[in-house]
Amino acid sequence: MIAGLINIVAGLVMFLAGVIFLSMRSTRVMFGDAAVRRKFLAIRKLAWVLLIANFPAAMLITRSVIIVMTRYTVTVANESSSLIESFIVSGPGIEVELAPVPTNGTVTKHLRFSGDGSLDFEIRVGQMKTNGLIDGYVTPNLGGANTVRFKADKSIEVDAMSR
């Protein structure tokens, strides 16, 4: 966290230094030869555009990182010879159907939560209906990924990925 704050402060200092030096150079050129002024005009415009474009670029990068880091991914893998007719994932503020899942197929869904709590599932294959836990604690501020495997012997296995 300290490194991030140092990076922000250093970026602002470098931006201010760029504005000051570009302004100083522009002022010197404006009182110089007309040919030099014309030549410097394109370079000066490019320098200002690059200097100002850093802010939207930084905002886009920050937003992209937040989206990726807070996304929770659930994958259902059907390793059996039966069709998964219903697979419902429920958690804080969501209830999502990920079925049908074909034989030897997978379905993936990216989730966003509106609160803290557990992430549960309900699966129905033919006459069999089972409930289970995907993750004991999920939150809107922390992403993750889990794979729920429906095995050939009708057992269910939850593989937790690293966060």
pLDDT (tens digit, 9 = 90+) per residue, 94-124?
999 998 999 999 999 999 999 999 999 999 9
Domains of the chain, by residue range, sit at 2-69, 72-160
pTM of the predicted structure, to 2 decimals: 0.69
Average pLDDT over every residue of 68-93 = 94
Q: Which of 138, 52, 144 is nearest to 92 (CA)?
A: 138
Cis bond before residue 56 (omega within 30° of 0): no
CA–CA distance, 130 with 151 (Å, rounded to integer): 14
CA distances from 104 to 20, 77, 86, 113 (A): 63, 7, 15, 29
H or E element: which one contains 142?
A: none
Q: Is the pLDDT of residue 133 over 60?
A: yes
Predicted local distance difference test score (pLDDT) of residue 77: 96
* Residue that is written with structure tokens 């410097």 in the block: 40
Q: Which is higher by pLDDT, 8 or 13?
A: 13
- The CATH H-level superfamily of 72-160 is Domain of unknown function DUF5300 (2.60.40.2890)
Q: 114-140 as b/e, with b when 16 or more CB fall inside 10 Å?
A: eeebebbbebebeeeeeeeebbeebee
Sign for the pseudo-dihedral over CA of 56, 71, 90, 113: negative
Q: Is the pLDDT of residue 162 over 60?
A: no
Predicted local distance difference test score (pLDDT) of residue 1: 65
Predicted local distance difference test score (pLDDT) of residue 5: 83
The model's pLDDT over 27-75, given as tens digits with 9 standing for 90+, comes to 877 777 777 777 788 888 888 888 888 888 888 998 998 888 899 999 9
